A and B are shown apart, each in its own frame.
Chain A
Amino acid sequence: AQSVTQLGSHVSVSEGALVLLRCNYSSSVPPYLFWYVQYPNQGLQLLLKYTTGATLVKGINGFEAEFKKSETSFHLTKPSAHMSDAAEYFCAVSGLGGSARQLTFGSGTQLTVLP
């Protein structure tokens, strides 16, 4: 069984400030972890993924995330927020083996970027 908790349904940052979106997961098997971004009335776009190997993962648009097994976390960061980063962000987990393709999503974090 898998679950994802995203702390903070709404996060506001000033333009140019650090973006930190929190994600904690639980999984009975080694997880695959994902961050997706959703703009209004659109589908989800993959930002980055962790499968195996390097625990610091770099994605598109300057985002990165670090897999911390001991903390069961996969927080998303960006050093300097841009107005175009305003969107909803979803963390997701899938397991290996028979459930490899089943994604469990967090409830999402709405990011607002203030001028």
Chain B
Amino acid sequence: DGGITQSPKYLFRKEGQNVTLSCEQNLNHDAMYWYRQDPGQGLRLIYYSQIVNDFQKGDIAEGYSVSREKKESFPLTVTSAQKNPTAFYLCASTVLNQPQHFGDGTRLSIL
């Protein structure tokens, strides 16, 4: 079955450490997205990519970085510059005029 796989499901970060969240899709979708979800705030867009080797900042990109070297992969790095990284992170993908399809998320916590 086609879908989006996010790993790991739970992740812990130490102070000063960068961590990378994986997002892989086998839906042959062009566009991919990263969202951050905090309680009571809905989803906020971090980064998005519409084609390979190109990506744009969303509303809350500071402290995060991404790459899009392959169509099916869009990893998100939470850097040490992100001072409040504890959240639920969701990856999504889509093709033109179709709804976004979501992965099951990664919950990031601080040790």
Residues of A within 8 A of B (CB): 9, 34, 36, 41-46, 49, 51, 90, 100-103, 105-108
Q: In the assembled complex, which residues on chain A have CB atoms less than 8 Å from the CB atom of B97?
A: 51, 100
Question: Which residues does chain B contribute within 8 Å of A105, judged by CB atoms?
Answer: 42-44
Q: Is the CB–CB distance between A45 and B102 below 8 Å?
A: yes
Pick the interface stretch among B14-22, B74-82, B103-111.
B103-111
Decide if B40 is an interface residue (CB 8 Å cutoff): yes
Give the distance to chain B from A76, nearest Cβ to Cβ, in Å.
Answer: 15
Which of B4, B50, B101, B104 sits near A101, CB closer than 8 Å? Answer: B50
Q: Are A101 and B31 in contact (CB under 8 A)?
A: yes
Contact between A43 and B104, CB atoms less than 8 A apart: yes
- Size of the B side of the interface (Cβ < 8 Å), in residues, is 26
Closest to A48 in B: B99
CB distance from B31 to the nearest CB of A (A): 5
Write out the residue numbers on chain A whose beta carbons fall within 8 Å of the beta carbon of B103. 43
B105 contacts A41, CB within 8 Å?
yes
* A101-B94 contact given A42-B105, A43-B103, CB 8 Å threshold: yes
A90 engages B99 (CB within 8 Å) = no
CA distance A42 to B90 in the complex (A): 9
Which residue of the partner chain A has the closest CB to B4? A43
- Complex contact B40–A107 (CB within 8 A): yes
A-B contact pairs, 10 of them (CB 8 A): A43-B90, A44-B92, A51-B97, A90-B42, A100-B96, A101-B48, A103-B43, A107-B40, A107-B41, A108-B42
Q: How far is the CA of A102 from the CA of B47 in the complex (A)?
A: 11
Are the CB atoms of B104 and A42 closer together than 8 Å?
A: yes
**Contact yes or no, A102 B48, CB < 8 A:** yes
B107 contacts which chain A residues (CB < 8 A)?
41
